[in-house]
Amino acid sequence: MTYSKVEIQKLRMKAEASLTKTAELQQVLAQIDAALSRKENQKVTEKSQNQ
């Protein structure tokens, strides 16, 4: 199953709102943020190489 960036962000917001922020949750949220950032950087790089 593939999630869009918007769907992942919605799920992240729900997780933040419903769970107590433990060290483990903070780590998972950081991993999600890093994955989203890498994906965005990849898109930018691809666009700049195609021009």
Distance of CA 44 to the CA centre of its chain: 16
The contacts of residue 32 (CB under 8 Å, 6+ apart) are 8, 12
Distance of CA 2 to the CA centre of its chain: 13
Q: How far apart are CA 42 and CA 46, in angstroms?
A: 6
What total of structural domains would you count in the chain? 1
Instruction: Grade residue 1 by pLDDT with cuts at 50, 70 and 90.
Output: low
Task: Report the pLDDT value the prediction gives residue 37, as an integer from 0 to 100.
Answer: 92
Does residue 34 lie within any of the structural domains? Answer: yes
Instruction: Grade residue 41 by pLDDT with cuts at 50, 70 and 90.
Output: very high
Task: Report the pLDDT value the prediction gives residue 14, as an integer from 0 to 100.
Answer: 83
Q: What domain range is 49 assigned to?
A: 22-51
pLDDT digits (tens, 9 = 90+) for 11-35: 888 887 776 667 777 888 899 999 9
